[in-house]
Each structure stands twice: as C-alpha cells, then as structure tokens.
Amino acid sequence: MTDFAHLRRRMVEEDLRARGVRDYSVLRAMGTVPREAFVPEGLRARAYDDSPLPIGDGQTISQPYIVAFMVEALAPAGDDKALEVGSGSGYAAAVLASICREVYAIERIERLAVTGADALDKLHIRNVHVRYDDGSQGWADAAPFDVIMVSAGAPSVPETLRAQLAIGGRMVIPLGAGPRVQELVRITRKSQHEYIREDLADVRFVPLIGREGWGLEAL
C-alpha cells in the first residue's frame, strides 16, 4: 500500500522547501492536502511526483511546486476571500482553502467542476464554492476578492478579473502571446485605478478559454 503521508512529507521537503518555498502556511497546506484525492485513480501512485498529471479533457493538475509557488506569491491570509479560475480537479482550491476564509472556484469543463466539487466534499472541505462557468468573467456576486489565482494561461489580464480584485489584493496569472507558454505575473491593486505588475517566472499552462481569454481554436 502506498504511504501517501510519507510521500507528502518528502514532497514538502525536497520539492518545495529545498527549492525556496518558505511561507509556513503554504508549506503546512501543501503538507496537509492529499493530492492523491485529486488525480485519477490510475495515477495515484504518482500523485507526489513534482510534475503535472493529466486529469482528462485535455487538462492537467499542476505540479506541486508551481501550486506552492503561486500560492506563496499571493501571500494569502486567514481572513482572505480567494477566487481560483480554472480549478480543474480542485487541488489548488483545497490548498487555498487551508489558508483562506473562503474560496470561490470556477471551472469551464462541467465534468471537472462536478468531480472537483465531489473530491472537496469527500474531504469535508466546506469553505470552497465551485461553479461551472467561464472563469475569465470571474464571480461577480462574490467579488471583491483579496486574492485571485488564475490556473490557465491568458493572452492578457481579463479586465473583469482586474475589476474584481479588492484594493490591496493580489492576482497571479500566466500571460503569453501564445496559448501554451507564458510568464507568470503578479498584479497588485494599489487603488481604484492603479495596478502594479511583477513578472515572476516562465511557466506552461493550458489556455484560459473564455470571453476574455483564448477562443476554442487554442485547444
């Protein structure tokens, strides 16, 4: 029988802490959330490989280091309200939920939205709300958000998401001229009309499909 707890501890030490992730709340969340619950059954033995894994419908669950890197870049706090765009199987939403007060997660593929919500429910994670919808349009009814994590690559920052960011809030989003290779960017909202952009790392995400993302031809 696979010792997932041991693999999880090793992941935190070798793939996260050793590569520079330092935020205690992020390391604690990554060491607590069972990634094996969010991957297809046939891939569970590989759940703690530091690599993306397929979850069906042409989508992937991001590698653990990238999830930790993105969450640390958001600097979430315990009273924060978070939005995740492109929630896939629900893993990153579960990590955010271990730190934030509430998480709103949007997934454009209905099957993944349903299975992701089911995985969260089985783990008794009650502070995540999942919606099947166009993530590039955000979740207006729940805005503003203290942190927004976009887990798909966009051609530019969707103005709707920018507007749903609280003053002082942070967004991390992969941006690129092509749908498959991007720069991970942090956007910080300083005031009603002032935003600061910081480039963080080269990344590779599936494309953000939607009204303010890529069209279906990018698939």
Confidence tier at 2 by pLDDT (50, 70, 90): confident
Confidence tier at 167 by pLDDT (50, 70, 90): very high
What percent of the chain lies above the pLDDT cut of 70?
A: 100
Helix, strand or coil, per DSSP, at residue 158:
coil
pLDDT at 218 over 80: no
pLDDT at 178 over 90: no
pLDDT at 216 over 90: no
How far are the Cα atoms of 14, 106, 161 from residue 84, in angstroms, in the given order? 26, 6, 11
pLDDT at 47 over 80: yes
Helix, strand or coil, per DSSP, at residue 165:
strand
- Is 171 in contact with 69 (CB distance < 8 Å)? no
pTM for the full predicted model: 0.95
Q: Could you give the residue numbers annotated as active site?
A: 62
Residues 6+ apart with CB under 8 A from 17: 27
pLDDT at 1 over 90: no
Averaged pLDDT score across all residues of the chain? 96
pLDDT at 175 over 70: yes
Count of domains in the chain?
Answer: 1
Indicate the pairing of strand 165-175 with strand 145-150. Answer: parallel
Q: Provide mean pLDDT across the span 194-216.
A: 94
pLDDT at 27 over 90: yes
Q: Which domain holds residue 180?
A: 4-218
How many whole angstroms separate alpha carbon 157 and alpha carbon 141?
20
Query: Which CATH number is 122's domain given?
Result: 3.40.50.150
| Secondary-structure breakdown of the chain: helix, strand, coil percentages, each rounded to the nearest 5 | 35, 30, 35
pLDDT at 219 over 90: no
**Cβ-based neighbour number of residue 124 at 10 Å:** 6
State pLDDT tens for residues 105-137.
Answer: 999 999 999 999 999 999 999 999 999 999 999
Write down the number of H helices and E strands in the chain: 6, 9
Q: Provide mean pLDDT across the span 89-108.
A: 98
Helix (H) or strand (E) holding 115: helix 110-122
Q: Provide mean pLDDT across the span 25-37.
A: 98
| DSSP at 21 | -
What percent of the chain lies above the pLDDT cut of 90?
A: 94
Q: Provide mean pLDDT across the span 175-179.
A: 84
State pLDDT tens for residues 63-89.
Answer: 999 999 999 999 999 999 999 999 999
